[in-house]
Amino acid sequence: MKNRRIAIIGTGVAGLACARKLGMAGHDITLFEKSRGLGGRVATRRTPDGLFFDHGAPCISQPEHAPDLKKALAESELIKLWQATPENAPYVGVPAMNAWLKPLAENLTVHLQSRVKAIEAAGERWRLTISHDEGTNASEDFDQIVSTIPAPQARELLGALPGFSGVFDKIDMTPCWTLMSAFSERLNLPFDFQETPASGIAKLIRNSAKPGRRAVPDCWVLQADAQWSATHLEIEKEDAAELLLALFESAAGVQLPSPVYQTAHRWRYALTRNAYGVPFLPHPDGSIYLGGDWLLGDTIAHAWRSGSAIADSLIQAG
Ligand SMILES: Cc1cc2nc3c(=O)[nH]c(=O)nc-3n(C[C@H](O)[C@H](O)[C@H](O)COP(=O)(O)OP(=O)(O)OC[C@H]3O[C@@H](n4cnc5c(N)ncnc54)[C@H](O)[C@@H]3O)c2cc1C
């Protein structure tokens, strides 16, 4: 097995947890990631002016769902406890949510801005067609594929392969519109983290109050709830930002000053509604594994457990 080439698609938590274990066991792995950075939905927006917004997962929920994640968090200097979050979601990355994930990819072969567009059989192997952001296409052959991308994207890429038909039918992932707003002075609001503070809002978070962040400008992240996000899914980003700022004001109960920075981000596939119920799904011949949070649930711990279980299975097979 160690001589076999393994491709991991996606460098979110699941892909990185899998890669770290396989890398430590000496396997030949290559990671492909369509975006510019690591972390997937554990994401931080950095503006040219040095503002930070964790616009994906704001904290790490129920790490006990993945015992080796709990250990990794306890050992990382890039993780801190934050008292403002609910008791079951105690950890945040420092100085950014995704900071702790970057060291997991050290010494690994990672191709960023490289989207896997197609997978087809090539003799005994699988041929990946990869489109790079600069406009070129390439293909590479691998013995083993590990997909850690969200279910709807995995359906597009792999749904036509025999063995995976019907797998994706019961999985539903809800969207999330997210507002990022910064104010020149600290807002005088009596909370740093609130769940469902007003209709349409899932979470309202004072990003600047997290450990290791600058206190001003006062940076906030608002996550719309699934229903609001689905209703407004196709509106323009600028329109979403205006509507979300109005929701923010309704939660604050006062008129807010004009933000010095504001933008919105649409997560088309944010949270899993119906998980599959197993850590991963192997292709009948074992040469492709489907993983990611959606197999087990809707949290970072679920993603970690899935990626880690795939690595264990491949290591055992070796
Ligand atoms: C708004 C929001 C709030 C959340 N809140 C919490 C929370 O409070 N607590 C918690 O624990 N979790 C939370 N989560 C969920 C958590 O972020 C996810 O469960 C976890 O990050 C999923 O990791 P993953 O590796 O399975 O998938 P992802 O993070 O989605 O990683 C998949 C990666 O694959 C890449 N990719 C996709 N298609 C391709 C392709 N064709 N080729 C190459 N690369 C591709 C993507 O760019 C991405 O980087 C939240 C998520 C969001 C969006």
Q: Quote the pLDDT of residue 1.
A: 59
Report the distance separating Cα 145 and Cα 15, nearest Å. Answer: 11
* pLDDT reading at 8 higher than 70: yes
Atom of ligand 1 nearest to the CA of 16: 25
What's the whole-number mean pLDDT along residues 110-118? 97
Indicate whether 194 and 148 sit together in one domain: no
Indicate whether 251 and 287 sit together in one domain: no
Contact 267 CB / ligand 1 (< 6 Å): yes
What is the CA(10)–ligand 1 centre distance, in A? 9
What is the CA(176)–ligand 1 centre distance, in A? 12
What is the CA(198)–ligand 1 centre distance, in A? 25
Least confident segment among 80-94, 168-182, 231-245:
80-94
Indicate whether 123 and 221 sit together in one domain: no
What is the CA(6)–ligand 1 centre distance, in A? 21
- Structural domain harbouring 53: 43-97+173-272
What's the whole-number mean pLDDT along residues 71-81? 93
Average model confidence (pLDDT) for the chain? 95
Q: What is the pLDDT of residues 220-231, one digit of tens each?
A: 999 999 999 999
Indicate whether 86 and 117 sit together in one domain: no
Contact 14 CB / ligand 1 (< 6 Å): yes
* pLDDT reading at 138 higher than 80: yes
What is the CA(314)–ligand 1 centre distance, in A? 22
Look at the alpha carbons of 6, 173, 98, 85 in this order and tell me if their dihedral is positive or negative.
negative
Atom of ligand 1 nearest to the CA of 32: 43
Contact 297 CB / ligand 1 (< 6 Å): no
Indicate whether 151 and 27 sit together in one domain: yes
Which of 300, 302, 304 for mutating ligand 1's site (highest number of atoms within 8 Å of CB)?
300
Atom of ligand 1 nearest to the CA of 178: 1
Q: Which two tokens stand for residue 207?
A: 């990003």
Indicate whether 157 and 191 sit together in one domain: no
Indicate whether 152 and 261 sit together in one domain: no
- CATH number, position 221: 3.90.660.10
* pLDDT reading at 166 higher than 90: no
| Owner of token pair 């970057």 | 102
- Three-state secondary structure call for residue 166: coil
Task: Evaluate whether 127 touches 120 at the Cβ level (below 8 Å).
Answer: yes
Q: Which two tokens stand for residue 71?
A: 């250990």
Indicate whether 264 and 136 sit together in one domain: no
Indicate whether 197 and 252 sit together in one domain: yes
* pLDDT reading at 150 higher than 90: yes
Indicate whether 90 and 140 sit together in one domain: no
- CATH number, position 34: 3.50.50.60
Contact 40 CB / ligand 1 (< 6 Å): yes
Contact 113 CB / ligand 1 (< 6 Å): no
Residue 55 — pLDDT band, cuts 50, 70, 90?
Answer: very high
What is the CA(253)–ligand 1 centre distance, in A? 32
Q: Quote the pLDDT of residue 133.
A: 87
Indicate whether 247 and 159 sit together in one domain: no
Q: Which amino acid is residue 285, in one-letter code?
A: D
Give the E-state strand segments of 161-255 in sequence order. 173-183, 193-195, 201-206, 218-224
Residue 165 — pLDDT band, cuts 50, 70, 90?
Answer: confident
Q: Whose CA is nearest to atom 15 of ligand 1?
A: 299
Atom of ligand 1 nearest to the CA of 17: 25
Q: What is the pLDDT of residues 251-261, one digit of tens each?
A: 999 999 999 99
Q: Dihedrals φ, ψ of 16, to 5°?
A: -75, -35
Contact 89 CB / ligand 1 (< 6 Å): yes
Atom of ligand 1 nearest to the CA of 269: 53
Report the distance separating Cα 55 and Cα 112, nearest Å. Answer: 20
Indicate whether 296 and 188 sit together in one domain: no
Contact 10 CB / ligand 1 (< 6 Å): yes
**Number of structural domains, the chain?**
2
Give the E-state strand segments of 60-150 in sequence order. 79-81, 91-93, 109-111, 114-122, 125-132, 137-142, 144-147
The model carries a pTM of 0.97
Contact 145 CB / ligand 1 (< 6 Å): no
- Three-state secondary structure call for residue 81: strand
